[in-house]
Amino acid sequence: MRTGFYKCEYYVGEALGRSVMYVRDGTMLGGNSGFAHIGAYRFEGDQVFAEIESRRHCFEADYQSLLGQDIATIKVIGRACGDTYRFEGSSPQMPGASFRSLMTNLDDSEMPPAGEIGEGSIANGLYSIHLRALDGIDGGLTGVMLLQDGRILGGDASFYYLGAYSSADGRWKGEILNQEHTPSLGEVPIFGGYEIGIGFSGSCDPEGAELEATALAGKRSLRLQAVLKLIRKAV
């Protein structure tokens, strides 16, 4: 598969799910509001063979597994179809159910330059992020975020994030651009329909990080707070 950042649309039987996924050097890392997706792939001719683990990171009742388990696996076979990849496969956690997915490349041309990384920085890896609005505003997001050498990629079923950060001595700061890859249909009204710029700063340790941020959604300024928890460390 081509190295890059993708949105994923997938079906287990007739049930639909969406997520984001970063693909590089035989590794797949991504997820959505409820689950992290961690996988590996290989080529055989023009076919791509992949095995992906789905692992719950948010235990709110709104986020249910299409595979019926908090931890589940799928095995798929796919191939390139123009600028997309199509896969079919199955899961041992749901015998007899078919799995189909479509991966479409996301435009990451607006990615800012990587920040500076020093001793005591936040670790490279895949994180869950739970973000909430402050000042009495009802709203927030959960998703996944991949941090790699001063760059940020992340998202969920409707949004994707591009950004950069600097980190050292247990602190980090950066900027994120939040955009829709699939219309959110008003599910998150403070974010849906906007391209949102977010500036943040906070503390970090080997297990995760916290941050406070200011987001600009149209003409509206929002204060946000978020917690990140490390799911899988990357090199």
Residues 173 and 222 in one domain: yes
Average pLDDT, the chain: 92
pTM of the model: 0.93
Domain containing 199 equals 125-233
> Is residue 77 in some structural domain?
yes
Report the pLDDT averaged over residues 94-118.
92
Contacts of 122 (CB under 8 A, 6+ apart): 147, 165, 167, 172, 204, 209
Residue 135 is predicted with a pLDDT of 78
> Is residue 168 in some structural domain?
yes
Consecutive H or E run containing 207:
none
Q: How many domains does the chain have?
A: 2
pLDDT tens digits, residue range 171-230? 999 999 989 999 876 555 566 667 889 999 999 999 999 999 998 877 778 899 999 999
Please report, for the domain that includes residue 18, its CATH number: 2.40.128.380
Residues 8 and 40 in one domain: yes
Residues 18 and 97 in one domain: yes
Residue 195 is predicted with a pLDDT of 82
Residues 28 and 90 in one domain: yes
Weakest-pLDDT range from 6-15, 91-100, 176-185: 176-185
Residue 78 is predicted with a pLDDT of 96
Residues 18 and 81 in one domain: yes
pLDDT band at 136 (very low <50, low <70, confident <90, very high): confident
Quote the tokens at residue 4: 């890059």
> Is residue 113 in some structural domain?
no
Residues 99 and 131 in one domain: no
Residues 137 and 179 in one domain: yes
Give the start-end residues of each E strand in the chain. 4-12, 15-24, 27-31, 35-44, 47-56, 71-81, 84-90, 99-105, 125-133, 140-148, 151-155, 159-168, 171-180, 196-205, 208-217, 220-233
Residue 189 is predicted with a pLDDT of 55
> Is residue 82 in some structural domain?
yes
Residues 214 and 141 in one domain: yes
Residues 97 and 129 in one domain: no
Residue 226 is predicted with a pLDDT of 96
Residue 1 is predicted with a pLDDT of 81
